[in-house]
Structure 1
Amino acid sequence: MVTALSINALTKIYGKKKAVSSISLDIPAGSFYGLVGPNGAGKTTTLNMCTGMLLPTSGTVELFGVDVWRNVDTARREMGVMPQADEIFDRLTGLQLLVYSGMLRGMKKPETLRRAHDLLDAFDLSDAENKIVADYSTGMKKKICLGTAMIHSPRILFLDEPFEAVDPVSSANLKDILKEYVATGGTVIISSHVMSLVEKMCSHVAVIADGEVRASGTLDEVATGKDLEDRFLELVGGRHEAAQLSWLDGGVDGNAAVSGHADETSDTDNTENANTNSLGGDVDAQ
């Protein structure tokens, strides 16, 4: 088995907080690998250290045998990293952004243009190719961000919550493109907290909580015969019985309370009206 990404004792400490605690993973080439965990688990921090975006406190990352932090430029040529919407030049049009991203990678302009149009077609963005990205919807921005990560045909893709806020049709198209990419030998590493997405798309998964790996392996190895979401909750904990909110009763008692309040208000209004009438009578009498 060829290892695409080897993470060894990777750690990140901010002051007294250990965001990532000695994570070790071997991610096979040609796999669709999911990093799953609750919010704040350390998924994004781990990805940023793997892609040369965030310096680890300790530990190593190797990409196809190349030490990422000793050879950042070499490693980055092999990877595609999906940026967040606030990390791109959104005053460019969609076409300009893709061409810029390709040429930044050293691609020739004619090839970059051809691939940019292919991506715009694949992502249903052809009609918006001359529209500035700042005016794109959230889902459109997600797609163009993914396009910037794919245009140079990397060996491995790093995607942080790529399907968030993407409509179902676009999401299905993106999934098909990613599956085809993996089928040709590419490797995808995706972070998510949506178990249904991971179950449908990933061949391997690592469950991360509190900066630690709780389980890793193939989907079947981690699930151990259970529903992945149930297994996930079992591993990360935190689930508790529904809070008993005595006033949250579907509106039955709530309506009574509102009605009671209305009655009180009505009584108050009647008293005020009576006082006003009484005062008016005194004035007339004078």
Structure 2
Amino acid sequence: MSAVAARGLVKDFGGTRAVDGLDLRVPVGSFYGIAGPNGAGKTTTIRMLVGLLAPDEGSVEVDGIPVWPDPTEAKGRLGLVPDHPVLFDRLSGLEMLEFAGLLRRMDPVVIRSRSRDLLRVLDLEDAADRRIADYSLGMTKRIGLAVAVLHSPRVLVLDEPFGALDPVNTQVIEEMLQRYRAGGGTVVFSSHVMDVIERLCDRLAVIESGRVRAEGTVRELAGGRTLQEAFVDLVGGRTLAEDDLSWLSSSSD
């Protein structure tokens, strides 16, 4: 069984096709990357995978459960951290976790215990009682991750998870995600940072113009090059001509 299986996904916005017959199969227990240039359809795809945006055509299953037409059951097996987490910013970090746990009908004792663990590991203990509105972007990312993993989902989906994080917290979160995977979870994340994908992922799908352009292990797709070089070759790169921005100089002349 695949952790996530998408078949023939299509999504149009006002006559513009953002996702065009996309197929995706994420193995259980994998660390799976989704990469693509801006506007390739990555975020639209993720929103359909997690039950936030209904596809015009196609189907999605998470942990063997159909996401559409009713995503309720599948959402119980998912955790999501979007690029910019949408949280109740008038709540404190601890209150946000307690609220999220109660929405998922978790035992209050378990909620409190897990919340304290997550706040400690993610270096948010001192900010536990501070309103999220007063958090930095990096802190908001971390509390968003805590909300996503609180209920121990089967599949964790992250959109640009390491943006706005300093190296210390990035390392902690990478270790946290590896421990989650070692416990049987599946990680799916979208990123523009090729060295992160190359370091963490087992497999990778490269999306362009709403379709999967290439899919396989990171080693297969790299083909003996750096992953960034292979990615640019796949989606088409751009280089500056010799006379482009010829005026750009630190000279005062």
Same fold, TM-score > 0.5, yes or no: yes
Q: Write the distance in 2 (CA, Å) between the matches of 1:27 and 1:183.
A: 16
CA distance in 1, matches of 2:84, 2:221: 32
> Aligned residues, how many?
252
Q: How does 1:48-63 map to 2 (within 5 A)?
A: 48-63=47-62
What's the offset of the Cα at 1:73? Answer: 1.2
Q: Structure 1's 245 and 161: CA in aligned 2 closer, same or farther, altered over 3 A?
A: same
Does 2:103 correspond to 1:104? yes
Q: Does 1:246 align with 2:246?
A: yes
Q: Distance in 1 between matches of 2:245 and 2:78?
A: 49
The letter for the 1-side match of 2:249 is D
Separation in 2 of the partners of 1:84 and 1:175? 16
* Aligned position for 1:32: 31
Question: CA–CA distance in 2 between the matches of 1:89 and 1:25?
Answer: 32
Worse-superposed segment, 229-238 or 62-71:
62-71
Correspondences of 1:1-286 after superposition (within 5 Å):
2-83=1-82, 85=84, 87-242=86-241, 244-251=244-251, 255-256=252-253
Counterpart code for 2:230: R
Larger radius of gyration: 1
SS of the residue corresponding to residue 25 of structure 1 reads strand
Is the 2:85–2:144 contact (alpha carbons within 8 Å) kept by the matching residues of 1?
A: no
Structure 2: give runs of 5+ residues left out of the alignment: none
**Larger RCO (CA within 8 A; separation ≥ 6):** 2
State whether residues 83 and 149 of structure 1, in contact with CA within 8 Å, keep that contact through their aligned partners in structure 2: no
Alignment RMSD = 1.3
Question: Segments of 4+ in structure 1 off by > 2 A?
Answer: 83-86, 240-243
Residues 20, 212 of structure 1: 8 Å contact kept: yes
1:139 counterpart letter in structure 2: G
Answer 1 or 2: which has greater helix percent. Answer: 1
Cα deviation, 1:101-141, whole Å, max 9, x if unaligned, reads: 11111101111000000000110100110111110111000
Runs (5+) with no aligned partner, structure 1? 257-286
TM-score using structure 1 length: 0.85
* CA deviation map 1:229-280 (0-9, x unaligned): 00000001032234622212341xxx22xxxxxxxxxxxxxxxxxxxxxxxx
- Larger deviation: 24-33 or 205-214? 205-214
Distance in 2 of aligned mates of 1:64 and 1:246:
54
